[in-house]
Chains A and B, each alone.
Chain A
Amino acid sequence: MSNKTILVAQREYVENLRTKTFWVGIFFFPIIISLSIVIPIWLEKTKDVRKYAVVDHSGWLLEAVEKRAAMPDLEKVFKAAIDDIDAKDPADFEAYPPAVQEIARFLAGGKEKAREVLGDKFPAALEELSDEEFRKQYVKAVAIGISMLDSPQIAAAQRFGMIPREAVEEALARREEIKTWYDSLSPDDAREFGSTLSRGRYERIELDLEGEELIAKLSEMVDREKLFAYFVIGDDPIAGNEGFKYVSNNLTDEGLINWFERHATAEVRERRFEAENIDRELAAEIQMPVDFEMKKVSSTGEEEEVEKTEIVRQWAPVAFVYFLWMAVFSISQMLLTNTIEEKSNRILEVLLSSVSPLQLMSGKIVGIMWTGLTMILSWVLSTIVLVTFLPGLLGAKGDVIDFASIARDPFLLTSFVVYFLLGYLFFAALLVGIGSVCNTVKEANNLMMPVTVMLMLPLFAMIPISKDPNGTLAKFLSYIPPFTPFVMMNRAAGPPTNFEYVATSIILVLAIVFVFWAAAKIFRIGILMTGKPPSPMEMLRWLKAPIGQVPVRHDEE
């Protein structure tokens, strides 16, 4: 690169740093990211507790539902507690009641702890479970034990059976303590232990009324929005749905009714089996859902377990494509307006007495590329910092971490920066060519139409490609240079083969060289031209003309 190209680029860069657009671009992104992290957490935190009431004519279903509902909550509390054993701030762990702390430590022991307790009685079948899987079952068993041990309807204890009762005996010894703690947990406190606890979302209230009076009062409360909803449970749930009612003014938010129905159904179903004298274990076995374990084949051909992260990973490229698109589009657009501005400022001919058109063009492209890179790198950095620290600052747990690990994935980040550069170079050359033949932004917009349409396609293809990253459409589009950066970024979850990376990159680079050559020829002629912009056919003739010769315009002939 010649010295003069760098001088032009430097000026371009420094000038761009002074524009408002640049700083808006720099700050816009982190603000979006922050909002996308803060708003869900904040919404979750400020979500109203749904108050509800239940009129139970059966006399037993409500109690059973509450026991069942406690089970998943406890499971979550134990999991969170196990995670918090090693928390940076010891106070996090100390927030749990002593019984939960002890059990969490015990559960953290996993298979080894169980083996220690059971000695010879440790079932060989359990050895086959991974430590993680074992702990999952183990936690579940403890949660079931604590919430429903004395219920005669522990069908789910089919799983409980896998972990010998003796293994969780120690946990069960503290059962009453934990049950009391859980039952007295207020919704606000519950949220401290996990945002998804049903205890934190739904609060049942009781009124000291009966019969018609009670129903009238509840209806009135629902009407005044003092109560989200109330349930009426029929006399005999086992016989049928007669007398069941759900009354609410908000029928679109089905969270509460679904939650309550799920637990009520499970309970009633079990009692029906019992009524028919069907063996509990047998019934549980019959009801076992078909459960496909999600796996994927790794690059070495082995089966890999699919974690939640993988699913996020599958979709993460969509976000990257979107930001890539925004970056390429907005930054090459900068080049377009910039060129037109120079043209309308009539400064080009002055510059041409010092630099060659090629130096001028490449200087501009390089200068704005630096601007773009600065912006992109600031985005990358701020994203890493924000996803790493922001959720922690807000006291969020668990779920966000997957997102953070994806956003920091070096493979995705490198692809992002490289494809930004390649995509930018391609469209920059295209737009600088267009800019050079236009005198006003309005004229440029007309010529931009085909380019914009071309740029829209990867956006439309974004979702289909994410679903099938190695499908025919995705593969085909990868080889078309203007789409390559976006489509390949889109397919990062696939990922494409090394051959595809190399082949598409070679084609893209060749295309960039060609577009540069064409843009340089058009730029040379276009920047000195006034009057209406040339037609595409005219520009084609410019490409064929030798350097320094200005082909005649039709209307001049």
Chain B
Amino acid sequence: MTDALVLDGVTKRFGKNVAVDSMSMNIPQGSIYGFLGPNGSGKTTTIRMVMSILYPDEGTIRILGQPNAESVKDRLGYLPEEKGLYKKMKTAEILAYFGTLKGMDRHEAKRKASDLLDHYGLGDRKDAKCESMSKGMGQKVQLLGTIIHDPELVILDEPFSGLDPVNMELMRDVILSMKKGGRTVIFSTHVMAQAEQICDAILLVNKGRKIIDGPITEVKKTAGGGIMLDYTGDGAALHGLPGVQRVNDSGQHAELILEDDADPQEILRQLVDKVTVRRFDIREASLHEIFVRAVGGKVDE
């Protein structure tokens, strides 16, 4: 399988600040790829370089087999983190406009815009001006504008941030259906849990540097085991358990990171005495834990 996107040693500096530091990655066609890292870790800069909005200082990018995005813009869909619509335009119009900008025929774009709005429950808002739409509807229209031309590669920058639960679901559906159609989806996020649910492969980045990348199953193998715990009681009791390396405590929920030779049964036994256990789940460590371990500190979310 060919790669939809290849980055090789891409570096971008803003003055003395290195925003992206010799980043390399291969993203196979047809996959959902998560680009993870805290805010300010260089995700958006990398994406902007991929989109040829910024140019790298060093390194090369190959996108859909081309050295830069200029010549393949019509085959790309891009949803930036900072996004908006023309307030005075009607929803169907603006979708069709985005479509024609991507090289679609005017009629085809109009028809497709109308179909998409029907399909995603905005059929009665075709003639509504964008300024009259709720924030959630606006987000929907923005997403539809990104995929109206059925792009081969979709790049979404923080697509889940600020979405209501309904649109969150919609976003997930769209990403999954793109994959079903053999398309490649790359999205960035700083919320690890989202990536964990739908990504085939991920790349973890911090301060402009790659920490780890690969298929999600392999990435997880590197981290060893853990226990997911839902509990009620005093969180202090979670500390000092035998074989527990570290605790990521969220009050009602905690992740216990185990040493290699830890005995989960013993841990459960001791826990039952101290707190009320509502769920006890032995599993691989979460991406969050992997990330924390890799950076060796607290994640700055």
Contacts and interface: CB of A to CB of B under 8 A. Distances in A.
Given A549-B55, A552-B14, A557-B15, A347 B88 contact: no
Contacts of A550: 14, 54
B15 to A, nearest CB: 3
B86 A345 contact: yes
A4 B52 CA distance: 17
B55 A353 contact: no
20 contacts: A7-B101, A15-B88, A15-B89, A19-B88, A342-B86, A346-B83, A346-B84, A347-B85, A349-B78, A350-B83, A350-B142, A352-B53, A353-B78, A353-B80, A354-B98, A354-B102, A547-B55, A552-B14, A552-B15, A556-B15
B14 A528 contact: no
B73 interface: yes
Contacts of B15: 552, 556-557
Interface string A540-557: 000000011110100011
Contacts of B101: 4, 7-8, 351, 354-355
A354 B73 contact: yes
A136 interface: no
Nearest to A353: B78
What are the nearest 7 A-B pairs in CB distance? A548-B55, A353-B78, A552-B15, A346-B84, A354-B101, A349-B80, A345-B84
A296 interface: no
Contacts of B88: 15, 18-19
Interface of B: 14-17, 48, 51-55, 57, 70, 73-74, 76-80, 82-89, 97-98, 100-102, 142, 145
B82 A349 contact: yes
Contacts of A11: 97
Contacts of A8: 101
Given A345-B87, A556-B17, 12 more contacts: A7-B101, A18-B88, A345-B84, A345-B86, A346-B80, A350-B84, A353-B80, A354-B98, A356-B70, A528-B53, A549-B57, A550-B54
Nearest to B145: A350
Instruction: Name the residue among A8, A18, A347, A353 with the largest chain B CB count within 10 angstroms.
Output: A353
Nearest to B13: A552
A311 B130 CA distance: 55
Nearest to B49: A548
A383 to B, nearest CB: 31
A549 B19 CA distance: 13
Contacts of A347: 83-86
Instruction: Specify which of A7, A354, A356 lies most central, judged by the most chain B CB atoms within 10 Å of its CB.
Output: A354
A549 B13 CA distance: 9
B258 to A, nearest CB: 44
* SS of A interface (majority): loop
B53 A349 contact: yes
A161 to B, nearest CB: 77
Contacts of B85: 345, 347
Contacts of B77: 353
Nearest to B44: A349
A347 B70 CA distance: 19
B100 to A, nearest CB: 6
A7 B85 CA distance: 17
A548 B54 contact: yes
B251 to A, nearest CB: 36
Interface in A332-352: 342, 345-347, 349-352
Nearest to A528: B53
Contacts of A547: 55
A85 to B, nearest CB: 59
Nearest to B73: A354
A357 to B, nearest CB: 8
A114 B101 CA distance: 78
Nearest to B15: A552
A547 B80 CA distance: 21
B243 to A, nearest CB: 47
B248 to A, nearest CB: 34
B11 to A, nearest CB: 13
A149 to B, nearest CB: 76
A557 B14 CA distance: 9
Contact of B80 (A15, A350, A549): A350
A154 B70 CA distance: 91
B275 to A, nearest CB: 46
B155 to A, nearest CB: 8
A360 to B, nearest CB: 10
A523 B51 CA distance: 17
Nearest to B100: A7
Contacts of B82: 346, 349
B127 to A, nearest CB: 14
Contacts of B87: 345
Contacts of A15: 86, 88-89
B54 to A, nearest CB: 6
A10 to B, nearest CB: 9
Contacts of B102: 354
Contacts of A19: 88
Nearest to B142: A350
Interface in A1-39: 4, 7-8, 11, 15, 18-19
A160 to B, nearest CB: 73
B201 to A, nearest CB: 23
A347 B94 CA distance: 11
Interface in A367-392: none
A528 B86 CA distance: 17
A157 to B, nearest CB: 75
Contacts of B14: 550, 552, 556
Contact of B51 (A18, A345, A352, A549): A352
Nearest to B79: A350
